[in-house]
Amino acid sequence: MSTLLDVRNVSKRFTTGGMMNRRSVQAVEKAGFAMSAEMPEIFTIIGESGSGKTTLARMILGLEEPSEGEILVQEKRVDGRAGRASRLDFMANVQPVFQNPFEAFNPLKRIDRYLESTARRFLPDPDRATIEAAMDAALQKVGLSLAEVGGRFPHEMSGGQLQRAAIARALIPNPRLLIADEPVPMVDASLRMSIVNLLRSLRDDYGVSVIYITHDLATAYYISDRLMIMQRGRIVEIGPGHAVLDTPEHPYSRLLKAGVLSTADAGAGRLSIDPDIIAAAETLSRRPGRLEDRDDGRRVMVHGSAPNAAG
Amino acid sequence: MFTVLHDLVRYNIEFAIGLGLMTAIVIFAGLSFVSPVDPTMVYLAIPDQPPSAENWFGTNSRGQDLFWQLTFAFRNSLVFGFTVAILSRIISIAVGLTSGYVGGWVDRSLMFVNDIFVAIPIFPVLVLFYFVFRDDLDSFRLALIMACFGWPFDARLIRSVAMGLKHREFTRHAVFAGMSTRKILFEEHLPYVMPIIFSTFMNNMLWSIGFEVTLAVLGFTDINEPTVGTVLYWANSHSAMVVGVWWWVVIPIILVVMTFLGLFLLAVSTNEYIDPRSRLRRMGA
Amino acid sequence: MTDDILKVSDLKAYYQMNYYGNNFEVRAVDGIDMSVRRGEVYGIAGESSSGKSSFVKVLAAAIRPPLRLVSGSVRYDFAGHPIDLATADARDIEAIRWKHLSYIMQGSMSVLNPVRRIGRTFEDFASRPLNLRGRAFRDRIVAHLERLKLPAEVLQAYPHELSGGMRQRVTIGLATVCHPEFILADEPTTALDVVVQKEVLKLLRDIQKEMGAAVIFVTHDMSVHANVADRVGIIYAGNLVEEGPTREMFSAPKHPYTAHLVASLPRIGDTAQRPALDGRPPNLAKPPPGCRFHPRCPLAVERCRREAPPLETVSPDHRTACWRWSEVAPLVDHGMRQEVVR
């Protein structure tokens, strides 16, 4: 089995402050996981703000250099400072979708400009006709068309349409892996599902693997094959999506699930969270631990010395 | 382009006034091309004549018709200011955008050079150049030298905007769309620094024309070439105000004030017009 | 205690702009009729550019050009201080601020001055309306903070020294310290992490119950409404398209737009395909004729393209603006069961 993406024991420290009060923040600590090249899947990274999920995504894209460990895409090391040719090679395989669709396109420029540039750069022999065909084909995959998008400015389209156009742009080089960093929250409620369903169809119909980064457990449950939960830079639980979210084991995973606002008892206003879970998640976040295998394929962080406080 | 002008004139009173003033000055300067007299010749007219139907702006103590003399002076000064502004804008855009976007050691070394130019005292250096070149210091050479000093402050300003743009999502998006650095700088980021470039363009013109006047009045330029500065130099050396030839000083100053006011109003109004935010609003966002 | 504290009738507020010869008239609020009862939480949902934030601006008496109140009335019935914002002047409005009508805004930083200690901010806001000073004032504030589970030390802190959740609790404290009768909460928890969000919502709900204040709670997030609102009103393209008791809105929506909003919320434990609604919200500078939802509506018929439907009462407390409301059915089973989250 060959790997599409291999994240090996990656850590990232940021140092802030001047000479007097130098502080270092551990954004990501010894993160490791792999994705197979044969089986396209949606792999979700769940975490709150400050969990390191975005830093991890930026490292996979080569926008940030890991402090320790390495990241391999199709057996080649990701290196943001490599020459232009090898970066373009990398971009042909891995493409990002950013968080804010209104920011993803230069507001002063036409949207199709980004699609055209991508096609011109990544297609083997780009002439006018093939470029337009590729743009249209990619837009068709996301439920748009060149006739709708061509010549339009970003402010003329909805957030949902823009996000889909951004995904279409990312699909033009036929990448194997799409990294979607919180692609949904900035999109209007009525249009969100169109994005989430699209990620699903990319996997099922076009064989693209997706790393979906979110803080929303409900959409994660809806589309993930596998997922991992990060707390302050550490992976606390990783495994099959449904198994982990149906019965989360680590206290922090359970806390996140308890934080989900349920619509099942609409109008009843049940908002309390068990304070024990909050306390357990908080204490364990400071304690060292290591990931242990479970029978259902998940791995959970167990913390040494004290017995599991989840009890 | 025409509709843009039309809109601006119709809906922006500052622009209309600024455009009116500058058009008048440019036409005035343009009249130099049909001038019947050679501005370098002296005693072609009766000296010290006040403004009259024959000599609209009067004549000076050197026997020159001031109207035609000033058309040449304004043409030369405007061309001078324009040259300095354009050249120094080119340098500041290139340095500012590159420095802000690329960052790292490129940024550090460019800003090191930048700071050296900020620190060098410009006036003594220009005087030094005058002593080196002497009569070869024509206004084009002076413009080149001034351009070398006119960019560093604006380059820093542009750099700070470019640093903000670097972290906008559309920049990263453009990188992953395979755009080259040059394309990102000049097609994605340039529109955002255009307002700065415009306003500093006008400022720079004002600064360089003002500097030229200073140097000329002190006699540190080629005094045989008519410019706003040299006109005042001659007026001063003939003690124009003392001997009562007031029009030799007052008329050029009124015209200079008109020029400066016109440039200023154009800067303010076009600035508002090309600001990305107002551009977006006009597009109906 | 069932009378209305706020009554909005036929409210129209437009943005009128003239920009280099392009005249814009954006009909952000276009004929809204609604009322809020004493002591209830009324949720307002709507997407970006639906007009909901303009509506809130009008309710908060924060109408600034280019936004203009075109017609209608906004009547608050405060104890001893009835006021109609459409006709009130600045002095009247100043008299009700904070004491009767207060706000919780999305960015806590916009209320909290970053270079002033929290205690000073409390003084600025509340000292005059409460008519207290010195020791007595401080005791009152500390007692109030205790309710919000905030230690008295926060009064010595600067805003940046507090976490996002703490800051938002402080703004809730500011909004509630004068015991107002009406609170406008505009996306107060949107920027918070899920766990903190739930805690803050609970706190807000508890203190509201305790004080008996009426709240208008604005958010685009339907799952928040499900948990805090007594009634929910949906705004689409400047119109109120449906309002009703929260539970009914989720179990039996009577407007196709509501049905879609509710159905598009995925749920843990359920992977059934969720429907997506296509198209985009209309441009309020030139809204479509007839029902403004018809270009995106799966049930649209010829009549919807011509005539705008009125807000019709379909059951007690439940009103909808749809010609075909009787045919609207929930799109997915939304699991209205007593799920125990544990």
The highest-confidence range among A222-226, B211-215, C338-342, by mean pLDDT, is A222-226
So what's the pLDDT on residue A272?
82
Q: Compute the mean pLDDT over every residue in chain B, rounded to the nearest whole number.
A: 87
Q: Count A/B contacts: CB-CB distance under 8 Å.
A: 62
Q: Domains in chain A: how many in total? A: 1
Q: What would you report as the CA-atom Rg of chain B, rounded to the nearest whole angstrom?
A: 22
Q: Which residue do the tokens 């002439």 mark?
A: A127
Backbone angles phi, psi at C72, to 5 degrees: 95, 180
Mean pLDDT of B192-218: 87
**Nearest CB neighbour to A108, from listed B174, B276, B284:** B276
- The token pair at C226 is 């499900």
pLDDT per residue as tens digits for the range C13-30: 998 876 666 677 888 899
- Mapping DSSP to helix (H, G, I), strand (E, B) and coil, where does residue A23 land? strand
- CA angle, C314 then C317 then C322, to 5°: 35
Specify the higher pLDDT residue, B137 or B165: B165
CATH number at A155 reads 3.40.50.300
Q: Do A193 and C264 touch (CB under 8 A)?
A: yes
Q: What range does the domain containing B272 cover?
A: 2-283
Chain C residues touching residue B8 (CB < 8 angstroms) = 20
Chain B residues touching residue C22 (CB < 8 angstroms) = 282, 284
The alpha carbon of residue C83 and the mean position of all alpha carbons in its chain are separated, in whole angstroms, by 20
Q: Do C268 and A218 touch (CB under 8 A)?
A: yes
pLDDT per residue as tens digits for the range C187-228: 888 778 888 888 889 888 888 988 899 999 999 888 899 999
**Nearest CB neighbour to A106, from listed B188, B284, B285:** B188
pLDDT of C108 strictly over 60: no
- Categorize the per-residue pLDDT at C342 as very low, low, confident or very high, splitting at 50, 70 and 90: very low
So what's the pLDDT on residue C338?
39
So what's the pLDDT on residue C34?
93
Q: Is residue A308 part of a domain?
A: no
Chain A neighbours among C 7-36 (CB < 8 Å)?
none
> What's the length of chain C?
342
So what's the pLDDT on residue C126?
84
So what's the pLDDT on residue C162?
85
- Categorize the per-residue pLDDT at A117 as very low, low, confident or very high, splitting at 50, 70 and 90: very high
In chain C, what is the straight-line distance between the N-terminal and C-terminal CA atoms, in Å?
36
Per the CB < 8 A criterion, the answer to whether A251 and A277 are in contact is yes
pLDDT per residue as tens digits for the range B112-154: 999 999 898 888 888 888 888 877 778 888 899 999 998 999 9
So what's the pLDDT on residue A91?
93
Query: pLDDT above 90 covers what percent of chain A?
Result: 46
Q: What range does the domain containing A276 cover?
A: 3-16+25-262+270-303
**Nearest CB neighbour to B11, from listed C21, C24, C285:** C21
Q: Is residue A310 part of a domain?
A: no
Of A54-63, A229-238, B6-15, C139-148, where does mean pLDDT reach its minimum? B6-15
Q: Do C20 and B284 touch (CB under 8 A)?
A: no
Mean pLDDT of B174-196: 90
Q: Do C22 and B11 touch (CB under 8 A)?
A: no
Specify the higher pLDDT residue, B234 or B281: B234
pLDDT per residue as tens digits for the range A82-98: 888 899 999 999 999 98
In this prediction the pTM is 0.84
CATH number at B65 reads 1.10.3720.10
Q: Do B176 and A170 touch (CB under 8 A)?
A: yes
So what's the pLDDT on residue B81?
92
pLDDT per residue as tens digits for the range C91-107: 888 888 888 898 887 76
Q: Compute the mean pLDDT over every residue in chain A, rounded to the nearest whole number.
A: 87
Q: How far is C24 from chain B (nearest CA, A)?
A: 8
Mean pLDDT of B48-60: 83
Of B240-244, B278-282, C145-149, where does mean pLDDT reach its minimum? B278-282
Q: Domains in chain B: how many in total? A: 1
Alpha-carbon distances of B245 from B52, B59, B239, C334, rounded to whole Å: 14, 9, 8, 94
- Is the backbone of residue A39 left (phi > 0), alpha (psi -120 to 50) or beta? beta
A108 in B contact zone (CB under 8 Å): yes
Q: The complex's ipTM?
A: 0.86
Domains and CATH numbers, chain C: 4-229 (3.40.50.300), 246-342 (no CATH)
Specify the higher pLDDT residue, B10 or C155: C155
Q: Which residue do the tokens 């339009």 mark?
A: A152
Q: Do C21 and B10 touch (CB under 8 A)?
A: yes
In chain B, what is the straight-line distance between the N-terminal and C-terminal CA atoms, in Å?
21
- Categorize the per-residue pLDDT at A305 as very low, low, confident or very high, splitting at 50, 70 and 90: low
pLDDT per residue as tens digits for the range A200-212: 999 999 999 999 9
So what's the pLDDT on residue C337?
45
So what's the pLDDT on residue B283?
63
- Mapping DSSP to helix (H, G, I), strand (E, B) and coil, where does residue B190 land? helix
Mean pLDDT of C78-89: 86
Q: Residue A66: is it exposed, middle or buried by C-beta count within 10 angstroms (0-12/13-18/19+)?
A: buried
> What is the SS3 assignment for chain C?
CCCEEEEEEEEEEEEEEEECCEEEEEEEEEEEEEEEECCCEEEEECCCCCCHHHHHHHHCCCCCCCEEEEEEEEEEEECCEEEECCCCCHHHHHHHECCCEEEECCCHHHCCCCCCCHHHHHHHHHHHHHCCCHHHHHHHHHHHHHHCCCCHHHHHCCHHHCCHHHHHHHHHHHHHCCCCCEEEEECCCCCCCHHHHHHHHHHHHHHHHHHCCEEEEECCCHHHHHHHCCEEEEEECCEEEEEEEHHHHHHCCCCHHHHHHHHCCCECCECCCCCCCCCCCCCCCCCCCCCCCHHHCCCCCHHHHHCCCCCEEEECCEEECCCCHHHCCCCCCCCCCCCCCC
So what's the pLDDT on residue C340?
36
Please state, in angstroms and rounded to a whole number, the distance separating the CA atoms of residues A114 and A107.
12
> What sign does the CA torsion over A240, A242, A243, A249 have?
positive
Which of these, C99, C97, C71, lies nearest to C86 by C-alpha position?
C71
pLDDT of A197 strictly over 80: yes
Residues 6 or more apart whose Cβ sits within 8 Å of residue C142: C152, C155
Q: Do C251 and A264 touch (CB under 8 A)?
A: no
Please state, in angstroms and rounded to a whole number, the distance separating the CA atoms of residues A189 and B157.
40
Mean pLDDT of B155-184: 92
pLDDT of C6 strictly over 90: yes
pLDDT per residue as tens digits for the range B272-283: 777 777 777 666
Q: Do B280 and A98 touch (CB under 8 A)?
A: no
In chain A, what is the straight-line distance between the N-terminal and C-terminal CA atoms, in Å?
38
Q: Compute the mean pLDDT over every residue in chain C, rounded to the nearest whole number.
A: 86
Please state, in angstroms and rounded to a whole number, the distance separating the CA atoms of residues C242 and B196.
49
So what's the pLDDT on residue B241?
81
**Nearest CB neighbour to C195, from listed A161, A189, A259:** A259
Q: How many C-beta atoms lie closer than 10 Å to residue A239's C-beta?
A: 20
Q: b or e along B75-94 (b: 16 or more beta carbons within 10 Å of the residue's beta carbon)? A: bbbbebbbbbbebbbebbbb
